[in-house]
Every structure is written in structure tokens, then in C-alpha cells.
Copies of this chain bind each other. A is one copy, B any other.
Amino acid sequence: MKQETEEQQDFVKEVTKMSDDFDRWYTDVVRKAELADWSGVRGMMVVRPYGWAMWEAITRAFDDMIKESGHENWAFPLLIPREYLMKEAEHIEGFAPEVAWVTRAGSGMEELEEPLAVRPTSETIIGPLIKRYIQSHRDLPKLTNQWNSVVRWEMRSRLFLRSREFWWQEGHTFHASGQEAQDEVTLILGYYRSIAEDWLAIPVLTGRKSPAETFPGAVHTLTVEGLMRDGLALQMGTSHYFGQNFARAYDISFSNKDNERELVYSTSWGTSTRLVGALVMAHGDDSGLIVPPKIAPIQAVVVPIFRDDEGRAKVQRFIESWSPELKAAGIRHRVDWRDERPGDKYAHWELKGVPLRLNVGPRDAEAGQVELVDRLTRAKVAMPISGIAKRLSTELDAFQQKLFARAAAYQRENTFELETLDEVIAHYRERGGFVWVSWCGDQSEEARIKAESGGVTIRTIDDTAKPSGKCFVCGKPAKYRVSLAKAY
């Protein structure tokens, strides 16, 4: 991945071809399709309405899932005193290098007694706060979540994937037993899989992270990983089991059923606006985005085609006769009356990845039909307007399925099975994708794998699968089936 130039804020004239330069294609599409831009504040992005509406669709879906299982949204403070941040040793080691500090405030810009961190994640403020509300096992579990933005002082930047501010949800839960907390982490992983597969139409590998990739302070981290069109993997949500690590650091205990004090068991889990980047990179093509209907801010666009005022009036009357049906059926649609040529409008909405386009000319009006064009296959069919809302709903469902099937086929074609590190190195010299191998589990091998393969890492450990005989690195008996990839 090449470094983007934030300063390239000029108008994007042509979208670079994906096959010519994937990274440039990505940035061009994100900007020209009006998803996001760099803000002029170094490393910080502005998310535009078309991109934000996709994030809103994701938030609504996920929020419904977690509320159904008893989670509650809170608002915890943005600023965290330094002493709070410094309590869990591994955690602070992981995050301190990325923290932005508020050190001054007020009319004279007076220096604060103690610097306040702009939250990079909220474990260290939620821990000290939540303990007030936990006395006995009857107060557990506490299932908290918040929607917010966090700041991490990244040196590299890429729209949606790596920026100094990003938007996410962070769940933090507290339990009376380790088993219950582990079940929580697994439950949430299932939600992340559903968001990726059922909503974003991106098939994912799910599994446990290797030691080197585990969240700072966690006992274990579960992850969902998708495959992008350039062959790189993208982490799309992680769910961490902390055991009693954070409870110990922040002294969060409860009186258990035997009336003894016991430290709580905690978890945290998050997914972010990088999911918008994921859908761009998993589904896009040289013409631009392809947006899954369930996430699409505009599911169908109507393009009126006419030569003169009479034609326009005819087409308009026709469209107005059935467009209220679409609205009533909850189909998110727009009629494009802009003063542009039809061909330019087609290109515009293809770039924006709108799943279905309805071309409507005077002859269509006379015939009581529209020309339906599918963004994925580009097939054109005449569709009678009788029962149009139902027909479009069916088409949108089918589109969602086709998009997932296409991404699943891509993932299958780019998933391999290899046996030695040499084979792995040779593979990634030529191409990307996921590679399954067997591994002994020796953490010291992780740095070697990464260094010798030009950046390949263990993406998931599949604890449900049986490894074959030998470790792909050292040849000793293998303990784990693991997937490898180069990743964002």
C-alpha cells in the first residue's frame, strides 16, 4: 500500500483504473463518489453525506442487534486523565504512542494540572466509572456500548482505513464469570459476521488472533477478516476477552454468590467507519462503487430521458404516477432531474454504485414500462410498472445475494492451502489472498513470518479445525490451523 498524499485535494477528473493502481483507484473512488475527503487538518477526514449514510445504515443494524440482547448505550467522557490511562501496563504500551493530549484550556490557555488524553479507546475511563455501579453479582452483567469518535495519532493515512479520527462503536461488558464473558465475545463476533456478510455482502473468515495480533491487555481477541479486490485482507471487527486483567488494574470487583469478593471478567469489542472502506474495496470496479442494497443510501435511481418539453412533461407525469409507491414501500430512490445528459447521469450513478437504475423515456411512458439496468451485470430489461415496488424489492434482494455470491467466489478463488514458509513466500511474491497453513503456535515465529514474506501475518486461528502434521515454519508438530494474508 502506497502512502496517499493528503494534499491531493484537487478535483478528481478521471477515476484511475483499478487494475492500473489499486490504491489510487480507491482514493479516487472514495473522493469522486463523495464518500469522504481529507479535511485539511492533517490526518483527519471529513465524511460526506453519501458515506455517512452508509455508516448510519450499519449503525442502525448493529445497534438493533446489541439492544435485542440487552446491551445499553452510554456516553462516557471524551477526555481521560493521564493517571487513568497509565494503569494497565500492556494497554498503555499499545496506545500511548498514538495519544493526543489536551494540556491547556480556558481564556489564558492555562496549563492543566494533569494532561487529559483524547480517548484512543475507552477501557481506561469506563473501568473506573463502571465500578461505582457494581457491588454484587446481582449488578452483573453490565453490558455497555457507546457510539463516538476516537483519536489516534497515526503517521500513515488512508481514507476510512487509517485516519487520526475515526467513528466507531465500542462495547465494554462486565461479567460474573469468565465463561459468560467468553460467550459474550463470541456472541458479538457473530454480530460482526452478520454485519459483514448479511449487510455488506462481504464473506469473512472468523477466528482467534495470534499472540502478536492480540489487543493490548487482552487474553484473546476474536476477529472477522474480509478479502479486498487487491488480495489484501481487512480486519472488519474485533472482540476481546480480558479475563480479569482490566478488573485487576482498576480494582473492579463484586461480591459473588458465596458472598466473597471477586474480580469481574470483562470484554471489549469494536467496529468502525473502516467498514465503508471495506465495501468500496470488496465490491468496486473500474466504473466506481457497487453498494449493497441493504446499506445503499440510494437503492434505485430514476433517469428521465426526453428531447423536448412535451417529452419531459409526459415522462414526469408517468414517473409521478408510480414513484409514491416506491416511497410507501420504503425503497430509497431518487429521480435525477439535473440538467445533464443521460450518459453523464449513467456514469454518475454507476460511480456512486447505486444498485438499480430505471431509464424512462416518452415511449416507456406510453408503453407503461421502464428500462431496468443492474449495476452489477449491466443487464437491461423492460419492466412493466404494474407492481413496480414489489418487483424492485425482489430485484434488490436478488442484487444483495448476487453481490455476496460474487464476493464469495472471489474469496474462494483466492484462498489457498500451503505447507511450508518457502511456499508461502513464493506465493505472496506472485499474488495475494488467504493461505491456510498448519502452525506450531510458537509466538517467536510470527516476526520471522512477517519479515521473510514481505509483511504476511497470521489473520485467524481456526480453533475448530484440526491441523495437519507439521508446522509450516519449523516443521515441528502443528497445533493450529491458521490463515495468512497481507493485510491493511
A125 vs B75: C-alpha distance in the bound complex, in angstroms?
24
From A94-102, A407-415, A417-425, the one touching the partner chain is A94-102
Given A39-B125, A41-B80, A101-B104 in contact, is the A46-B74 Cβ separation under 8 Å? yes
> A151 contacts the other chain (Cβ, under 8 Å)?
yes
* A9-B132, A39-B129, A151-B79 known; A74+B103 contact, CB < 8 A: no
Question: Does A255 interact with chain B (Cβ within 8 Å)?
Answer: no
Residues of B within 8 A of A107 (CB): 96-97
CA distance A75 to B44 in the complex (A): 11
Report yes or no: B149 in contact with A41, Cβ–Cβ below 8 A.
Answer: no
Check A76 for interface membership: any CB of B closer than 8 A.
yes
Q: Is A435 an interface residue (CB 8 A)?
A: no
| Complex CA–CA separation, A185 to B99 (angstroms) | 39
B46 x A75 contact (CB < 8 A): yes
Is B115 touching A104 in the complex (CB atoms < 8 A)?
yes
Which chain A residues in 36-85 approach chain B with CB under 8 Å?
A: 37, 39-41, 44-49, 52-53, 55-56, 72-81
Cβ of A109 under 8 Å from chain B:
yes
The answer to whether B100 and A101 have CB atoms under 8 Å apart is: no
- Whether A97 lies near B101 (C-beta < 8 A) is no
Query: Given A98-B106, A106-B97, A153-B106: A129 and B46 within 8 A (CB)?
Result: yes
Nearest chain B CB to A308 CB, angstrom units: 22
Supposing A37-B132, A39-B76 touch, asked if A102 and B101 sit within 8 A by C-beta, the answer is yes
Q: Give the distance in Å from the alpha carbon of A41 to the alpha carbon of B53 in the complex.
A: 33
Cα distance A148–B165 in the bound complex, in angstroms: 13
The reply to whether A105 and B101 form a contact with Cβ atoms under 8 Å apart is yes
Please indicate the chain B residues that have their CB under 8 angstroms from the CB of A97 in the complex.
Answer: 106-107
Q: Is residue A428 contacting chain B, with contact meaning CB distance below 8 A?
A: no
Q: Does A128 contact B (CB under 8 A)?
A: yes
- In the bound complex, do residue B151 and residue A78 qualify as a contact, i.e. CB atoms below 8 Å apart? yes
Q: A110-154 interface mask toward B, CB cutoff 8 Å, 1 = contact, 0 = none?
A: 000001101000000100110010000000000010001101010
Query: Considering only CB atoms, which chain B residue lies closest to A80 in the complex?
Result: B41
Closest 4 CB pairs of A and B: A49-B72, A97-B107, A47-B75, A44-B77
